[in-house]
Amino acid sequence: MLQELTLKGFTKKLGSKAPMPGGGSAAALSASVSASLVEMVTNLTVGKKKYKEVEQEMEEIRNIAENMRNKFLNDIDRDSDSYEGVTIAFKLPKDTEEEKNIRKEKIQKELKNAALVPLEIAKDAYKILDLAEKVVLKGNQNAVTDGLVATMLSRTAVLSALYNVKINLISIKDEEFVKKITFEMDELSDVNERENKILGMVEL
Protein backbone atom coordinates (compact mmCIF):
# COMPACT_ATOMS: atom_id res chain seq x y z
CA MET A 1 0.00 0.00 0.00
CA LEU A 2 1.25 3.44 -0.93
CA GLN A 3 0.31 4.96 2.41
CA GLU A 4 2.62 2.52 4.17
CA LEU A 5 5.68 3.75 2.28
CA THR A 6 8.16 6.13 3.84
CA LEU A 7 8.09 9.70 2.57
CA LYS A 8 11.30 8.96 0.71
CA GLY A 9 9.82 5.84 -0.83
CA PHE A 10 6.56 7.49 -1.81
CA THR A 11 8.14 10.53 -3.42
CA LYS A 12 10.58 8.31 -5.32
CA LYS A 13 7.65 6.28 -6.64
CA LEU A 14 5.77 9.48 -7.44
CA GLY A 15 8.74 10.78 -9.40
CA SER A 16 9.19 7.61 -11.45
CA LYS A 17 7.85 7.04 -14.97
CA ALA A 18 5.09 4.81 -13.62
CA PRO A 19 1.62 6.34 -14.17
CA MET A 20 0.60 5.55 -10.59
CA PRO A 21 0.68 7.19 -8.14
CA GLY A 22 -0.05 10.54 -9.73
CA GLY A 23 -1.61 13.89 -9.08
CA GLY A 24 -4.71 12.50 -7.41
CA SER A 25 -2.69 10.62 -4.82
CA ALA A 26 -0.58 13.74 -4.29
CA ALA A 27 -3.79 15.70 -3.72
CA ALA A 28 -4.88 13.17 -1.10
CA LEU A 29 -1.51 13.44 0.61
CA SER A 30 -1.78 17.23 0.67
CA ALA A 31 -5.24 16.96 2.20
CA SER A 32 -4.01 14.51 4.83
CA VAL A 33 -1.19 16.86 5.85
CA SER A 34 -3.71 19.71 5.97
CA ALA A 35 -5.97 17.75 8.31
CA SER A 36 -2.93 16.83 10.41
CA LEU A 37 -2.05 20.48 10.92
CA VAL A 38 -5.59 21.31 11.97
CA GLU A 39 -5.36 18.44 14.44
CA MET A 40 -2.03 19.81 15.67
CA VAL A 41 -3.48 23.23 16.44
CA THR A 42 -6.33 21.68 18.42
CA ASN A 43 -3.88 19.57 20.43
CA LEU A 44 -1.93 22.72 21.24
CA THR A 45 -5.16 24.41 22.33
CA VAL A 46 -6.92 21.77 24.44
CA GLY A 47 -5.83 21.89 28.07
CA LYS A 48 -4.72 25.53 27.99
CA LYS A 49 -6.44 27.77 30.55
CA LYS A 50 -6.45 30.65 28.11
CA TYR A 51 -8.59 28.65 25.68
CA LYS A 52 -10.89 26.93 28.17
CA GLU A 53 -14.01 28.41 26.55
CA VAL A 54 -13.28 26.76 23.20
CA GLU A 55 -11.91 23.47 24.54
CA GLN A 56 -14.98 21.40 23.70
CA GLU A 57 -15.15 22.83 20.19
CA MET A 58 -11.45 22.14 19.68
CA GLU A 59 -11.89 18.56 20.87
CA GLU A 60 -14.69 18.06 18.34
CA ILE A 61 -12.57 19.53 15.56
CA ARG A 62 -9.66 17.34 16.62
CA ASN A 63 -11.77 14.19 16.24
CA ILE A 64 -13.02 15.24 12.83
CA ALA A 65 -9.53 16.16 11.64
CA GLU A 66 -8.09 12.86 12.85
CA ASN A 67 -10.72 10.89 10.93
CA MET A 68 -10.13 12.98 7.83
CA ARG A 69 -6.37 12.52 8.09
CA ASN A 70 -6.80 8.75 8.03
CA LYS A 71 -9.38 8.84 5.25
CA PHE A 72 -7.10 10.87 3.01
CA LEU A 73 -4.29 8.39 3.58
CA ASN A 74 -6.61 5.67 2.29
CA ASP A 75 -7.49 7.93 -0.63
CA ILE A 76 -3.85 7.93 -1.72
CA ASP A 77 -4.29 4.26 -2.57
CA ARG A 78 -7.88 4.59 -3.78
CA ASP A 79 -6.93 7.17 -6.38
CA SER A 80 -4.00 5.12 -7.62
CA ASP A 81 -6.18 2.01 -7.79
CA SER A 82 -8.90 3.84 -9.71
CA TYR A 83 -6.50 4.93 -12.43
CA GLU A 84 -4.95 1.50 -12.56
CA GLY A 85 -8.42 0.27 -13.51
CA VAL A 86 -8.30 2.58 -16.52
CA THR A 87 -4.91 1.32 -17.65
CA ILE A 88 -6.06 -2.30 -17.32
CA ALA A 89 -9.18 -1.54 -19.38
CA PHE A 90 -7.10 -0.07 -22.19
CA LYS A 91 -5.10 -3.30 -22.36
CA LEU A 92 -8.18 -5.45 -23.00
CA PRO A 93 -8.24 -7.32 -26.35
CA LYS A 94 -9.84 -5.58 -29.34
CA ASP A 95 -9.54 -8.12 -32.13
CA THR A 96 -13.28 -8.64 -32.66
CA GLU A 97 -16.24 -6.28 -32.64
CA GLU A 98 -17.50 -7.88 -29.45
CA GLU A 99 -14.13 -7.41 -27.77
CA LYS A 100 -14.00 -3.81 -28.95
CA ASN A 101 -17.42 -3.09 -27.47
CA ILE A 102 -16.56 -4.78 -24.18
CA ARG A 103 -13.31 -2.81 -24.05
CA LYS A 104 -15.06 0.51 -24.74
CA GLU A 105 -17.66 -0.09 -22.04
CA LYS A 106 -15.00 -1.10 -19.53
CA ILE A 107 -12.89 1.96 -20.32
CA GLN A 108 -15.86 4.25 -19.84
CA LYS A 109 -16.78 2.59 -16.56
CA GLU A 110 -13.24 2.89 -15.21
CA LEU A 111 -12.90 6.50 -16.39
CA LYS A 112 -16.01 7.40 -14.42
CA ASN A 113 -14.59 5.78 -11.31
CA ALA A 114 -11.27 7.55 -11.88
CA ALA A 115 -13.19 10.84 -11.94
CA LEU A 116 -15.37 10.11 -8.91
CA VAL A 117 -12.52 9.28 -6.55
CA PRO A 118 -10.65 12.60 -6.91
CA LEU A 119 -13.98 14.44 -6.87
CA GLU A 120 -14.63 12.94 -3.45
CA ILE A 121 -11.13 13.95 -2.37
CA ALA A 122 -11.78 17.52 -3.54
CA LYS A 123 -15.09 17.73 -1.68
CA ASP A 124 -13.59 16.42 1.54
CA ALA A 125 -10.52 18.64 1.25
CA TYR A 126 -12.84 21.62 0.82
CA LYS A 127 -14.40 20.77 4.20
CA ILE A 128 -11.05 21.24 5.90
CA LEU A 129 -11.31 24.96 5.17
CA ASP A 130 -14.12 25.24 7.71
CA LEU A 131 -12.00 23.52 10.33
CA ALA A 132 -8.92 25.56 9.48
CA GLU A 133 -10.86 28.79 9.77
CA LYS A 134 -12.05 27.85 13.25
CA VAL A 135 -8.61 26.94 14.56
CA VAL A 136 -7.10 30.08 13.04
CA LEU A 137 -9.71 32.24 14.77
CA LYS A 138 -10.11 30.39 18.06
CA GLY A 139 -7.16 28.07 18.45
CA ASN A 140 -3.80 28.60 20.10
CA GLN A 141 -2.43 31.74 18.46
CA ASN A 142 1.13 30.51 18.88
CA ALA A 143 0.23 27.92 16.24
CA VAL A 144 -1.85 30.18 14.00
CA THR A 145 0.59 29.81 11.11
CA ASP A 146 0.05 26.06 11.20
CA GLY A 147 -3.64 26.74 10.67
CA LEU A 148 -2.76 28.98 7.73
CA VAL A 149 -0.57 26.30 6.18
CA ALA A 150 -3.45 23.85 6.64
CA THR A 151 -5.61 26.31 4.73
CA MET A 152 -3.18 26.55 1.84
CA LEU A 153 -2.66 22.81 1.65
CA SER A 154 -6.42 22.28 1.67
CA ARG A 155 -6.86 24.68 -1.24
CA THR A 156 -4.04 22.94 -3.11
CA ALA A 157 -5.63 19.55 -2.49
CA VAL A 158 -9.01 20.75 -3.80
CA LEU A 159 -7.61 22.21 -7.01
CA SER A 160 -5.22 19.31 -7.58
CA ALA A 161 -7.99 16.76 -7.23
CA LEU A 162 -10.31 18.75 -9.50
CA TYR A 163 -7.72 18.82 -12.27
CA ASN A 164 -7.62 15.04 -12.07
CA VAL A 165 -11.39 14.94 -12.40
CA LYS A 166 -11.31 17.23 -15.43
CA ILE A 167 -8.70 15.21 -17.32
CA ASN A 168 -10.87 12.12 -17.02
CA LEU A 169 -14.07 13.91 -18.01
CA ILE A 170 -12.54 14.76 -21.39
CA SER A 171 -12.72 11.09 -22.43
CA ILE A 172 -16.12 10.26 -20.91
CA LYS A 173 -18.93 9.97 -23.47
CA ASP A 174 -21.84 10.05 -21.02
CA GLU A 175 -22.97 13.67 -21.33
CA GLU A 176 -25.33 13.53 -18.36
CA PHE A 177 -22.56 12.18 -16.15
CA VAL A 178 -20.18 14.90 -17.32
CA LYS A 179 -22.82 17.56 -16.74
CA LYS A 180 -23.54 16.30 -13.22
CA ILE A 181 -19.86 16.11 -12.23
CA THR A 182 -19.14 19.53 -13.72
CA PHE A 183 -21.94 21.01 -11.63
CA GLU A 184 -20.52 19.40 -8.48
CA MET A 185 -17.06 20.77 -9.31
CA ASP A 186 -18.50 24.25 -9.76
CA GLU A 187 -19.76 24.14 -6.19
CA LEU A 188 -16.11 24.18 -5.09
CA SER A 189 -15.10 27.02 -7.40
CA ASP A 190 -14.79 29.59 -4.59
CA VAL A 191 -11.91 27.71 -2.97
CA ASN A 192 -9.43 30.47 -3.79
CA GLU A 193 -11.67 33.08 -2.20
CA ARG A 194 -12.12 30.90 0.87
CA GLU A 195 -8.36 30.57 1.21
CA ASN A 196 -7.79 34.31 0.82
CA LYS A 197 -10.45 35.08 3.42
CA ILE A 198 -8.78 32.86 6.02
CA LEU A 199 -5.29 34.07 5.25
CA GLY A 200 -6.54 37.64 5.52
CA MET A 201 -7.66 37.06 9.09
CA VAL A 202 -4.07 37.07 10.33
CA GLU A 203 -1.52 39.87 10.23
CA LEU A 204 2.08 38.79 10.59
For 194, the domain range is: 21-199
| Count: domains in the chain | 1
Sign of the alpha-carbon torsion through 72, 37, 64, 47: positive
End-to-end CA, the chain? 40
The answer to the question of residue 6 being in a domain is no
The answer to the question of residue 204 being in a domain is no
CATH classification of the domain holding 55:
1.20.120.680
The answer to the question of residue 136 being in a domain is yes
The answer to the question of residue 72 being in a domain is yes
The answer to the question of residue 2 being in a domain is no
Flag whether pLDDT at 18 surpasses 90: no
At 204 the pLDDT is 85
56, containing H or E segment = helix 55-90
The answer to the question of residue 38 being in a domain is yes
Q: How confident is the model at residue 65 (pLDDT cuts 50, 70, 90)?
A: very high
What is the per-residue pLDDT across 40-64, written as a single tens digit (0 to 9) for each?
Answer: 999 999 999 999 999 999 999 999 9
The answer to the question of residue 98 being in a domain is yes
Flag whether pLDDT at 20 surpasses 90: no
What is the per-residue pLDDT across 97-111, written as a single tens digit (0 to 9) for each?
Answer: 999 999 999 999 999
The answer to the question of residue 86 being in a domain is yes
